[in-house]
């Protein structure tokens, strides 16, 4: 029996985590009225939803969010259809040398990312394309933080455990520094990842792993589908909820967050072989419009308490959206910005990327999922990484300045 806690009121949600689409549309109207790039930036950063009103012709959001600011751009910027993640490892070194290498790496990475997001990057390969909406996130891993005694939220140092069923490949997960780049297409991602690899090598660091992912480009801000064919990213927190569950608490870490990354292989053939009705019971939502089995519209809140006349739950006991429901977790929400990946036959799936204040939010949900989720028959977690996403760099400043205090 699950106890209800933190009943959340119904509210409009976005697939990208942030503002209500109508608010975003209003933001767009302000921009259109000619209030300029500053207003455009504000509209983008205010809560970070992308997209436009449902049913509207989609103008893909290509404006590049400003690199500089209190928070890094890649957490709440409009979600772009391409991503590249990379993890870097510093050379093992005495603490003081390690700190110096990290400072140098963060300084150079800041320069690379600021330049790639700004006007007229030096690298010709980034100059002639259309604006790609490049956003980035840079975080430090728990092991590095412990090794160098870095100033990170203490909760980060509680590692995400290995869960039953995990088949984790250490070469595809972990890392001292984890970077996520997102853009409208892969071109700038590949160029910027190369530049980051070069600055890493210059301080004796190595690229531990890279992973690229993609999303369907949907019309009118519609929620993209995952490789099982279901809309994924519907129930994401509002901008206000991000303040409670995603960004750090008021104080030294309030502009940081934690990225939890899981590379999850999906057996799409086996799932596709299920009758459609069974697929919907597994997910707890309808494949067509993404509505919960207890509702009629995509953004209706799944109701985990409604029962059928025979006493069974409408949302089955092992349905994914029941087990991941915030109602079972004091209302806690994570900001999910997942991508699909395709690394060849038999290795396709989901790059689960979630931003949380505390990695324990992820752990509590994954403990329930690992134990009972009907999806488990079709998925396998093959890599895992956690990183403290640093506060943003102010103009003229460097990412990670607070780490060494």
Note whether 259 binds ligand HEM by CB under 6 A: no
* Binding flags for ligand HEM, 341-370, as an x/- string (CB under 6 A): --------xx-x---------x--xx--x-
At closest approach, how far in Å is the CB of 61 from ligand HEM?
20
Binding residues among 67-126 for ligand HEM as defined by CB under 6 A: none
At closest approach, how far in Å is the CB of 179 from ligand HEM?
21
At closest approach, how far in Å is the CB of 253 from ligand HEM?
22
Is residue 185 part of the annotated active site? The answer reads no
At closest approach, how far in Å is the CB of 279 from ligand HEM?
10
Nearer CB in complex with ligand HEM: 144/215: 215
Among 144, 148, 189, 235, binds ligand HEM (CB under 6 A): 235
Which residue is catalytic, options 20, 89, 176, 232?
Answer: 232
Pick the piece of the chain touching ligand HEM (CB under 6 A) from 65-73, 193-201, 225-233, 306-314: 225-233
Binding residues among 272-311 for ligand HEM as defined by CB under 6 A: 283, 285, 302
At closest approach, how far in Å is the CB of 223 from ligand HEM?
7
Nearest-Å Rg of the Cα atoms of the chain is 21
Nearer CB in complex with ligand HEM: 109/291: 291
Q: How many residues bind ligand HEM (CB under 6 A)?
A: 29
Note whether 180 binds ligand HEM by CB under 6 A: no
Note whether 334 binds ligand HEM by CB under 6 A: yes
Among 230, 245, 339, 388, binds ligand HEM (CB under 6 A): 230
β-sheet bridge partners, residue 88: 177, 207
At closest approach, how far in Å is the CB of 326 from ligand HEM?
5
Which residues contact ligand HEM (rule: CB under 6 A)? 226, 228, 230-235, 262, 264, 266, 283, 285, 302, 320-321, 324-326, 334, 349-350, 352, 362, 365-366, 369, 375, 379
- Mind telling me the catalytic residues? 232
């Amino acid at each position: 029996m699950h106890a209800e806690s933190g009943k959340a009121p119904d509210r409009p949600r976005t697939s990208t985590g942030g503002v209500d689409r109508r608010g975003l549309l209003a933001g767009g109207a302000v921009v259109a009225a000619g209030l300029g790039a500053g207003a455009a930036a504000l509209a983008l950063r205010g809560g970070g939803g992308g997209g436009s009103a449902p049913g509207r012709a989609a103008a893909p959001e290509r404006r590049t969010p400003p690199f500089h600011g209190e928070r890094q751009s890649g957490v709440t910027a409009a979600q772009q259809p391409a991503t590249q993640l990379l993890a870097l490892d510093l050379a093992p070194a005495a603490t003081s040398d390690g700190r110096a290498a990290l400072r140098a790496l963060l300084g150079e990475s800041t320069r690379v990312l600021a330049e790639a997001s700004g006007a007229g990057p030096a690298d010709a390969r980034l100059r002639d394309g259309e604006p790609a909406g490049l956003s980035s996130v840079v975080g430090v891993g728990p092991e590095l933080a412990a090794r160098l005694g870095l100033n990170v939220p203490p909760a980060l140092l509680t590692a995400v455990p290995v869960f039953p069923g995990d088949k984790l490949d250490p070469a595809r997960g972990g890392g001292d520094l984890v970077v996520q780049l997102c853009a409208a297409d892969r071109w700038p991602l590949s160029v910027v990842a190369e530049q980051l690899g070069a600055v890493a090598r210059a301080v004796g660091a190595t690229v531990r792993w890279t992973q690229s992912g993609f999303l369907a480009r949907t019309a009118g801000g519609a929620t993209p589908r995952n490789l099982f064919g279901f809309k994924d990213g519907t129930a994401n927190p509002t901008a206000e909820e991000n303040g409670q569950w995603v960004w750090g608490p008021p104080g030294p870490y309030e502009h940081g967050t934690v990225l939890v990354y899981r590379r999850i292989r999906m057996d799409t053939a086996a799932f596709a072989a299920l009758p459609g009705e069974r697929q919907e019971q597994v997910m707890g939502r309808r494949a067509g419009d993404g509505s919960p089995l207890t509702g009629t519209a995509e953004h209706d809140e799944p109701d985990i308490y409604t029962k059928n006349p025979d006493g069974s739950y409408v949302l089955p006991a092992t349905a994914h959206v029941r087990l991941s429901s915030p109602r079972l977790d004091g209302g806690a929400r994570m900001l999910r910005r997942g991508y699909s990946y395709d690394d060849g036959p038999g290795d396709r799936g989901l790059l689960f990327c979630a931003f949380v204040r505390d990695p324990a939010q992820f752990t509590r949900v994954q403990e329930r999922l690992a134990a009972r989720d009907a999806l488990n028959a079709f998925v396998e977690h093959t890599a895992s990484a956690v990183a403290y996403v640093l506060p943003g760099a102010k103009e003229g400043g460097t990412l990670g300045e607070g780490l060494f205090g």
